[in-house]
């Protein structure tokens, strides 16, 4: 397990609420007796009979066309080895979740409890009519070759072993670009593949199919080079045996242009790397630890281009860039198989995507690092929203041209639009901004430092690379909890501060007194607040610059915490303080304001909220479209209470803001494209993604209703308007939620700096 994760958190994640990561939800209404009659007896008989007459109509009347089975026997699970079918289930559920998250494909996991290839094949064969495709996962070699080949012959749906072909496609795409950067051609370079398992052999076969001569690849296993004189090779390895006098990995790498590692940590030594050709290309893909780290390689070969399987280094070979989108294209074209032509199409599409300009929402994830095609960026990131509209069309087209598409795509433009609508890739907001925070680590103050959840979150903050953690609490109490959790009490980057005995108390008390002396507070009142109130103490740490940001709220009422902090932290100049809730669903992201602070905002305040909310949405990678909500639509009905909303729009008109907005309008018009089109004069070209509520009651109720029944995730409310990054969490927040609030607070530091730079430049 990565050091940034505590085992208890992983277990809690999988057990909280409904155990596991998947559930089945109906796609049709089931609220009336008529609905039930249509969904089941007697209505269900009609599509049954249609499918009996025409089996292909199953794609029209059932979920078959959008369902992939993720199947394993648990014989080669991640870095865990042969742990058995049942123990592999969390991984298979995870794979199914990735299908849904990245390509809107419904995945169902199946764990087949056998290591016998024939028995496995028969089990899947008799169930094969159930799904539109099969993703084989974590099956050891050589059985994986036998199983995939046989099932592809027996079934008329795509069968794809991700461990083989997913890795091969992503690695080959990166290699194409690395060759381009170093002025090499696919048919004129030498390569060593260390690791002759499923992925290594698949890499060789894909590159051979793309034009690389077989004799230009030297493959190695644990016994050395796979050459023609060896008598211990199975049929899959022997297919890649070459005639050579070389015998060891070191000899193979001497003078080689490219090295692919699909083996174990440390397999590539610095000495081996020194002997490679000029501008070597090294893909060290062992997980979690690569064959050689980029730091180690850079010491001896600063001219090298390197990729790994890890997200904390550039050029990650991540299979999630492949299998969801490959299956998306295969399912949409109703392909009978995933053939070599489709794999090559996916490879080329992925390679070409890396050469295009990186969109803002992806670039925003890497603060301080501009992503441009080059040695540090030869593979797109998993958060690139263009993947869904780039790879599936290429795969579907190749399926049609190679004759395996049973329903070729006829309208490319329409298909592109359908793909774009399947996912709102901005739902990856947290991943994007967390990556940005890792690039610019911050010191985070956790005010309620004696709480177990807070302590676990603080340790994860530090170990995940987000920055240093400061826990506010009695040291003895905090250390007792740390010991009970089995954490390292001497963890570098985690500090414990007791408000009563801090050496900076006098400084903080002076600072607080300077703020509150004209608000009825005596000096001794400020000293008492610093010594006894953790929120006041923590806020002073941030306000005086001794830390970057702060989170609190898990043990106290939201408004009590807000009152504490408002004493210490000033409101940013020319801004107002309000709460912004973010609703993320599979299809859209909505910002709702003000859900926490201002009871009945004036028209001027509504305009201010709209401007600040639009700025926040843009900083998070969204194009803001603001709706000023009301019960009325553009003056109908004319009733008392809509004046503030209409006046807010007029104020925005005068300010000449740089985003789309309109109002007053009802929520359904703001969010429904068809209803919005009834008002062609509207200032919104598309449905709104920022909803400015007329008052605190409506905003808070709407946000909490959506959180409970909206079918998505609500983040926040996030405070915006303080001069320092402060976030107040809901009482009882879990570790993941605490980290999310901390990430948003740290992101605010980066965003404020970027804004200040722009202001200075202007």
Q: What is the 3-state secondary structure (H, E, C) of 474-499?
A: CHHHHHHHHHHHCCCCCCCCEEEECC
**Tokens 């979740």 identify what position?**
97
Instruction: Using the predicted structure, report yes or no on whether residue 428 has a pLDDT greater than 70.
Output: no
What's the CA gap between 445 and 455, in Å, rounded?
11
Instruction: Using the predicted structure, report yes or no on whether residue 218 has a pLDDT greater than 50.
Output: yes
Which helix (H) or strand (E) segment holds residue 536: the answer is helix 534-543
Instruction: Using the predicted structure, report yes or no on whether residue 627 has a pLDDT greater than 90.
Output: yes
Give the best-scoring range by mean pLDDT among 197-206, 436-445, 500-509.
197-206
Residue 426's pLDDT is 47
What's the CA gap between 245 and 44, in Å, rounded?
68
Instruction: Using the predicted structure, report yes or no on whether residue 2 has a pLDDT greater than 60.
Output: no
Tell me the three state secondary structure of residue 460.
helix
Give the least confident one: 7-11, 387-391, 396-400.
7-11
The residue with greater pLDDT, 73 or 368, is 73
Residue 35's pLDDT is 85
CB atoms within 10 A of CB 492: 8
What's the CA gap between 712 and 590, in Å, rounded?
11
Residue 754: which pLDDT band, with cuts at 50, 70 and 90? very low
Give the best-scoring range by mean pLDDT among 18-22, 309-313, 330-334.
330-334
The residue with greater pLDDT, 710 or 182, is 182
What's the CA gap between 178 and 368, in Å, rounded?
23
Query: How much is the mean pLDDT over the chain?
Result: 90
Residue 487's pLDDT is 87
| CA 700 remoteness from chain centre | 28
186-315 and 435-568: identical CATH topology? yes
* CA atoms within 13 Å, Cβ hemisphere of 43: 9
For the stretch 393-429, what's the b/e string if a residue is b when 16 or more beta carbons lie within 10 angstroms of its beta carbon?
bbbbbbbbebebbebbbeeeeebbeebeebbbbbbbb
The CATH number corresponding to 435-568 among 3.40.50.10950, 3.40.50.170, 3.30.1390.20, 3.40.50.1000 equals: 3.40.50.10950
DSSP for 287-306? SSS-SS-HHHHHHH-TT-EE
pLDDT tens across 143-170, in order?
999 999 999 999 999 999 998 899 999 9
* Beta-strand relationship, 726-728 and 281-284: unpaired
Residue 29: which pLDDT band, with cuts at 50, 70 and 90? confident
Residue range 64-157, CATH number: 3.40.50.10380
Residue 755's pLDDT is 39
Look at residues 286, 291, 246, 247 and name the one whose alpha carbon lies nearest to residue 273.
291
Residue 580's pLDDT is 94
pLDDT tens across 55-75, in order?
999 999 999 999 999 999 999
CB atoms within 10 A of CB 38: 17
* Beta-strand relationship, 217-221 and 224-225: antiparallel
pLDDT tens across 89-129, in order?
999 999 999 999 889 999 999 999 999 999 999 999 999 99
- What does the H/E/C string look like for 104-157? CCEEEEEECCCCCHHHHHHHHHCCHHHCCEEEECCCCCCHHHHHHHHHHHHCCC
Instruction: Using the predicted structure, report yes or no on whether residue 247 has a pLDDT greater than 80.
Output: yes
Look at residues 566, 301, 545, 300 and name the one whose alpha carbon lies nearest to residue 443.
545
Structure tokens belonging to residue 511: 């600072």
Residue 757's pLDDT is 37
**Taking a C-beta distance cutoff of 8 angstroms, is the pair 458, 469 a contact?**
yes
pLDDT tens across 390-419, in order?
999 999 999 999 999 999 999 998 898 788
Mean pLDDT over 126-142 rounds to 94
Mean pLDDT over 548-577 rounds to 92
Mean pLDDT over 233-244 rounds to 93
Mean pLDDT over 631-642 rounds to 82
3-state DSSP percent of the chain in helix, strand and coil, to 5: 45, 15, 40
Which helix (H) or strand (E) segment holds residue 225: the answer is strand 224-225
CATH class of the structural domain 578-721 = alpha beta
Structure tokens belonging to residue 54: 């025409």
Instruction: Using the predicted structure, report yes or no on whether residue 84 has a pLDDT greater than 80.
Output: yes
Instruction: Using the predicted structure, report yes or no on whether residue 753 has a pLDDT greater than 60.
Output: no
pLDDT tens across 469-520, in order?
999 999 999 999 999 888 889 999 999 999 888 889 999 999 999 999 999 9
Residue 431's pLDDT is 66
What's the CA gap between 287 and 265, in Å, rounded?
8
The domain spans of the chain are 64-157, 186-315, 320-423, 435-568, 578-721
Residue 761's pLDDT is 33
**Tokens 């699970």 identify what position?**
77
Tell me the three state secondary structure of residue 712.
coil
Mean pLDDT over 219-237 rounds to 93
Residue 201's pLDDT is 95
The CATH number corresponding to 186-315 among 3.30.465.10, 1.10.1740.10, 3.40.50.12280, 3.40.50.720 equals: 3.40.50.720
Facing residues of 169 across strands? none
**Taking a C-beta distance cutoff of 8 angstroms, is the pair 372, 355 a contact?**
no
**Does the CA dihedral 694-695-700-705 come out positive or negative?**
negative
Angle subtended at Cα 22 by Cα 19 and Cα 26, rounded to the nearest 5 degrees: 120
Give the best-scoring range by mean pLDDT among 311-315, 425-429, 667-671.
667-671
Residue range 320-423, CATH number: 3.40.50.720
Residue 715's pLDDT is 82
**Taking a C-beta distance cutoff of 8 angstroms, is the pair 508, 541 a contact?**
yes
Instruction: Using the predicted structure, report yes or no on whether residue 760 has a pLDDT greater than 50.
Output: no
Instruction: Using the predicted structure, report yes or no on whether residue 424 has a pLDDT greater than 60.
Output: no
Spatial CB neighbours of 441, under 8 Å, sequence gap ≥ 6: 465, 466, 467, 468
Residue 80's pLDDT is 83
Look at residues 151, 354, 172, 323 and name the one whose alpha carbon lies nearest to residue 258.
172
pLDDT tens across 351-365, in order?
999 998 776 556 555
What's the CA gap between 575 and 609, in Å, rounded?
9
**Does the CA dihedral 306-311-314-317 come out positive or negative?**
positive
CB atoms within 10 A of CB 293: 18
CB atoms within 10 A of CB 679: 14
**Taking a C-beta distance cutoff of 8 angstroms, is the pair 276, 301 a contact?**
yes
Residue 671's pLDDT is 92
Tell me the three state secondary structure of residue 583.
strand
Q: At what angle do helices 735-761 and 603-619 cross, to 10 degrees?
A: 100
Residue 121's pLDDT is 97
Residue 58 dihedral angles phi and psi, to the nearest 5°: -60, -30
Q: What is this structure's pTM? A: 0.70
Residue 752's pLDDT is 55
């Amino acid at each position: 397990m990565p050091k940034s994760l505590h085992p208890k958190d992983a277990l809690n994640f999988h057990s909280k609420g409904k155990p596991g990561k998947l559930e089945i939800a109906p796609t049709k209404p089931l609220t009336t007796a008529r609905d039930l009659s249509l969904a089941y007896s007697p209505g269900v008989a009609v599509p049954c009979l249609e499918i009996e007459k025409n089996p292909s109509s199953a794609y029209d009347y059932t979920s078959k066309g959008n369902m992939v089975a993720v199947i394993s026997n648990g014989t080669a699970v991640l870095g865990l080895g042969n742990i058995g079918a049942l123990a592999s289930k969390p991984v298979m559920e995870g794979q199914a979740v990735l299908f849904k998250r990245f390509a809107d494909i419904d995945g169902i996991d199946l764990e087949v409890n056998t290591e016998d290839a024939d028995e496995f094949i028969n089990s899947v064969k008799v169930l094969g009519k159930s799904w539109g495709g099969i993703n084989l996962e974590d099956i050891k070699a050589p059985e994986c070759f036998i199983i995939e080949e046989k099932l592809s012959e027996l079934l008329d749906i795509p069968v794809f072993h991700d461990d083989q072909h997913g890795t091969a496609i992503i690695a080959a795409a990166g290699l194409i670009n690395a060759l381009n950067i170093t002025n090499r051609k696919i048919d004129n370079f030498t390569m060593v593949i260390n690791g002759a398992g499923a992925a290594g052999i698949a890499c060789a076969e894909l590159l051979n199919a793309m034009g690389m001569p077989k004799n230009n690849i030297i493959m190695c296993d644990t016994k050395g080079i796979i050459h023609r004189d060896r008598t211990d090779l199975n049929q899959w390895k022997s297919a890649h045996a070459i005639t050579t006098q070389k015998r060891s990995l070191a000899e193979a790498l001497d003078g080689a242009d490219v090295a692919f590692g699909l083996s174990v940590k440390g397999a590539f030594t610095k000495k081996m790397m020194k002997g490679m050709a000029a501008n070597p290309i090294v893909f060290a893909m062992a997980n979690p630890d690569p064959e050689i780290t980029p730091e180690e390689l850079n010491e001896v070969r600063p001219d090298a281009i390197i990729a790994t399987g890890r997200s904390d280094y550039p050029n990650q070979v991540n299979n999630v860039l492949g299998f969801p989108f490959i299956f998306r294209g295969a399912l949409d074209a109703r392909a009978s198989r995933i053939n070599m032509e489709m794999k090559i199409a996916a490879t080329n599409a992925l390679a070409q995507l890396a050469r295009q300009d990186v969109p803002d929402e992806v670039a925003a994830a890497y603060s301080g690092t501009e992503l441009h095609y080059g040695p540090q960026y030869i593979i797109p990131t998993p958060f690139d929203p263009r993947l869904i509209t780039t790879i599936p069309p290429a795969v579907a087209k190749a399926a049609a041209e190679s004759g395996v598409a049973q329903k070729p795509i006829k309208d490319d433009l329409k298909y592109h639009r359908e793909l774009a609508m399947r996912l709102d890739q901005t739902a990856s907001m947290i991943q994007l901004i967390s990556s940005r925070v890792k690039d610019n680590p911050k010191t985070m103050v956790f005010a309620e430092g004696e709480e177990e959840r807070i302590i676990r979150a603080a340790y994860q903050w530090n170990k995940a690379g987000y920055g240093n953690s400061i826990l506010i609490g009695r040291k003895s109490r905090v250390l007792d909890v740390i010991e009970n959790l089995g954490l390292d009490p001497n963890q570098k980057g985690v500090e414990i501060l007791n408000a009563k005995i801090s050496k900076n108390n006098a400084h903080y008390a002076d600072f607080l007194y300077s703020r509150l002396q004209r608000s009825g507070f005596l000096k001794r009142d400020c000293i008492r607040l610093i010594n006894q109130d953790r929120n006041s103490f923590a806020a002073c740490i941030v306000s005086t610059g001794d830390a970057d940001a702060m989170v609190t709220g898990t043990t106290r009422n939201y408004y009590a915490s807000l009152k504490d902090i408002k004493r210490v932290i000033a409101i940013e100049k020319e801004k107002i303080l309000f709460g912004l809730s973010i609703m993320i669903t599979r299809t859209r992201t909505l910002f709702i304001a003000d859900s926490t602070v201002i009871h009945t905002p004036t028209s001027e305040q509504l305009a201010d909220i709209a401007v600040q909310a639009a700025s926040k949405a843009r900083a998070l990678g969204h194009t803001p479209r603001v709706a000023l909500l009301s019960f009325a639509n553009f003056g109908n009905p004319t009733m008392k209470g809509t004046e503030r909303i209409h006046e807010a729009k007029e104020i925005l008109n005068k300010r000449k803001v740089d985003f789309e907005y309109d109002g007053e309008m009802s929520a359904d018009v703001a969010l429904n494209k068809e209803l919005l089109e009834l008002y062609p004069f509207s200032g919104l070209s598309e449905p709104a993604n920022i909803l400015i509520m007329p008052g605190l009651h409506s905003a808070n109720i709407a946000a909490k209703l959506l959180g409970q029944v909206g079918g998505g995730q609500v983040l926040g409310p996030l405070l915006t308007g303080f001069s320092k990054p402060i976030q107040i969490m809901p009482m009882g927040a879990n570790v993941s939620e605490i980290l999310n609030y901390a990430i948003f607070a740290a992101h605010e530091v980066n965003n404020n700096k970027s804004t200040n730079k722009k202001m200075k430049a202007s």
